[in-house]
């Protein structure tokens, strides 16, 4: 691997700020690898630039741009909801931990990846009753322990009682999962009954 020359502090801080602006989900550990500096240097750079740590950044993002989930309790959404525009789009972050992987291979169990996408597809619907009717899904590559999955949901259409939601899940900038969901909802339907959320497992 070629030796990367370290940047002068001012230049490094400018680039670090730009990287975080482009990808708010980037961790301090990832920044240390990118700039070949210690974790302490990254933390000092962030402090000097007034950039909060990842968890705080995510919290701020959620507070700044967040509609209230109507279709299911927030704790039933798999992953941390970062952004939600009802009937439009949503973003959630899900970190793969020990309990999500096969013990031998450290590869994430597929149902966790599906659950993140499915629960986000349901959460983005502006209705108290929303259920997954069908899902056409594609796993593009295996996801491993400690990888961070960023799911982005887009509502493609909403018609009477039915919505089409497309979800793309990324690790860094790499697409790892894609799903097309048909979500039934109760808007403009005179019917009640049924569970108020999809069983995402």
Q: Quote the CATH superfamily of domain 65-185.
A: Hotdog Thioesterase (3.10.129.10)
Task: Give the separation between CA 86 and CA 191, rounded to whole angstroms.
Answer: 22
pLDDT for 200 equals 40
Task: Give the separation between CA 116 and CA 200, rounded to whole angstroms.
Answer: 8
> Where are the CATH 1.10.10.10 domain residues in the chain?
9-59
* CATH number listed for the domain at residues 9-59: 1.10.10.10
Predicted TM-score (pTM) of the model is: 0.70
What are the Cα distances from residue 162, in Å, to 40, 121, 156, 184? 50, 12, 11, 5
pLDDT for 73 equals 76
Task: Give the separation between CA 145 and CA 96, rounded to whole angstroms.
Answer: 5
Close Cβ partners of 21 (under 8 Å, ≥ 6 residues apart)? none
pLDDT for 56 equals 83
pLDDT for 27 equals 86
> Where are the CATH 3.10.129.10 domain residues in the chain?
65-185
The mean pLDDT values, 10 residues at a time, for the chain of 201 residues are 65 91 85 91 92 81 66 81 91 94 96 96 93 96 95 94 96 95 77 37 38
């Amino acid at each position: 691997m070629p030796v990367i020359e370290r940047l002068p502090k001012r230049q490094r801080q400018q680039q670090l700020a730009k990287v975080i602006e482009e990808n708010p989900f980037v961790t301090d550990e990832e920044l240390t690898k990118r700039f070949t500096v210690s974790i302490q240097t990254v933390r000092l750079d962030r402090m000097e630039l007034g950039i909060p740590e990842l968890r705080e950044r995510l919290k701020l993002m959620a507070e700044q741009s967040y509609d209230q989930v109507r279709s299911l309790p927030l704790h039933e959404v798999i992953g941390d909801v970062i952004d939600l525009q009802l009937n439009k789009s949503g973003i959630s972050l899900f970190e793969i931990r020990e309990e999500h992987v096969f013990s031998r291979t450290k590869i994430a169990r597929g149902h966790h990846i599906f659950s993140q996408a499915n629960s986000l597809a349901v959460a983005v619907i502006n209705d108290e009753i929303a259920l997954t009717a069908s899902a056409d899904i594609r796993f593009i590559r295996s996801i491993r322990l400690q990888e961070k999955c960023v799911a982005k949901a887009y509502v493609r259409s909403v018609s009477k009682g039915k919505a089409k939601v497309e979800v793309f899940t990324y690790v860094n900038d790499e697409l790892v999962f894609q799903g097309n969901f048909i979500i039934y909802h109760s808007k403009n339907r005179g019917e009640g009954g049924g569970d108020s959320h999809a069983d995402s497992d």
